Amino acid sequence: MASVSAVNLVIQKGTYFEETFSLSAEDESGLNLTNQTATAKLKKHSTAGIAYTFTTTLTVADSTVKISMQPAVTSTLPSGRCVYDLILTSSSGVISKVVEGNVLVQETVSL
């Protein structure tokens, strides 16, 4: 399985957000995403009770996972520093964290 990558993000409140991650195995080849599901969530801090779920899209052919949020969701995010992670779950139930990081949620003045 891949090691955990640290990637920091910036989300503008009230706008569409999207980020695509290219996942690599330990030997630096593309990570095999066959029969995997992806889950990604954002929280104000790791023990916060409220979690905001990203939509996830896996592409097996190029070992990528896209996370996204619609404006209706980003408009409800808490401003400031937050945290997120991206988890893969295999069809046999093996859970692996592949990406984590901080998210800076910024206010959008014009909305």
Q: Identify the segments of the chain with pLDDT beneath 50.
A: none
Assigned domain for 110 exists: no
Q: Tokens in use for 77?
A: 């995010």
45 in any annotated domain: yes
Task: Answer whether residue 70 is part of any domain.
Answer: yes
pLDDT of the residue at 102: 98
What is the per-residue pLDDT for 2? 59
**Residue ranges making up the domain that contains 45:** 5-105
For residues 69 and 54, what is the distance between their CA atoms, to the nearest angstrom?
A: 5
**Side chain identity, residue 64:** T
CB atoms under 10 Å from CB of 7, counted, come to: 13
Q: Which two tokens stand for residue 18?
A: 């999207």
* 34 Cβ contact partners less than 8 Å away, ≥ 6 residues apart: 60
In this structure, is residue 35 part of a structural domain? yes
What pLDDT is attached to residue 19? 98
The total domain count for the chain is 1
pLDDT at residue 4, as a whole number: 87
Instruction: Please state the pTM of the whole predicted model.
Output: 0.93
| β-bridge pairing 95-106 and 9-12 | parallel
